[in-house]
Structure 1
Amino acid sequence: MYLFLGLLDALGLGVNCCTGMSCLMRKKVLDEAGGISAFGIYLAEDYFFAKYIQDRGWGIRISSQPAWQNAGISRVKSFLSRLTRWCKLRIAMVPHTILLEPFSECMVLGLVASWAGTVLLRADYLTFFLFHTLTWSLADWIMLNIVQNGPPPFSKFEFVISWCFREVSALFIFLHAIWNPVITWRTGSYKLRWWGVAEPVNTRVTVM
């Protein structure tokens, strides 16, 4: 996704594809906005850093060198919680994500594409869907090997199980993010307003 968004930005379409944990920004430009503290009302401040920089005529480029990080040990619950939090942030920051994001996921897009295939091409629905899913998973495996600069540190079987879990849970994550706009981050809880503004709430809410 970020490679595609980076390509669109490089073509001059002004797409924001910034990820704060692996991004270098010009301090001088941020200082003109009042420094980092000026973005304190946002949880996803890295997105708004990049938006401000782009609005001033600067561009964003993705490096060919992956930014390595130690992700540590992640349990299923924390993994789902992280993806849900990111989904909530995307919906709040870019509201039209509500309509577009489901169709960027393998399973939802596969169901729609398979229906179109049966109508337009008279293809078998199940065959079309399985071919779509297999092609998507192979593309993800190839991309993973490229980013890792070699085979990843787990087996193909582990990849298939993890990949299937991620793709099947995507719609649940999206619906859960819409249903509950509250985010628990570190020691605080925040309710997201439109355009990404985070409002602290007094009652601590546990988000899966």
Structure 2
Amino acid sequence: MSAMSIAFTHLTRHLTAAKWLTASLFALSLTGCSALGGGNMQQQEPDPDLPELAQKAAEQMVASNPELTRYSPMIAATFVSIDNLSQSSTLGRIGSELMASALGRQGMQVREVKMRDSLFIEESVGELILSRTVQRLSAQHDARSILMGTYAQGLDYVYISARVVRSSDAMVLGSADFRLPLNNNTRSLLEGQGGW
């Protein structure tokens, strides 16, 4: 074999190896891009929204006290801010409505009553006091229980505490706590502050 043929064979081998190496590096870079970039095909689960959380909370209440539905019918009070117990918001109003609906799906009979100034919390001791208005409304609607709740805004979440109390003596029959991510949607619900 001539020197020219040997040199050509070596060159061909080097070029083939270089092409293989280039192709391998290109394929590897594509794999890396899909792993690092937006090529992640699995999308992250969305945060649960308020109706979903209310449904789970209602299920939890009834599961922890299966006798809860015996205290029907129930009337619902607007949820209030833990920082100002005479103040609510769109979040407090819709939170109460969604919880009442969810409890209704669990077998609780819910009476539709738009309550105003129906309850307050004595801030010094934090005890729930049923006012004469609540007692009157309970009697008018033959309500054996009342849904009430509070919410608190944190840095990343709004914390909601809901409970159903017996109208005759304010004994807590069921309770559930959950948190709602503090995103733009939640902030807009909190902006609708105001009295009941």
Do both share a fold (TM > 0.5)? no
Q: Which structure's CA Rg is the greater one?
A: 2
**Structure with the bigger percentage of helix:** 1
Of Structure 1 and Structure 2, which has the larger fraction of its residues in strand?
A: 2
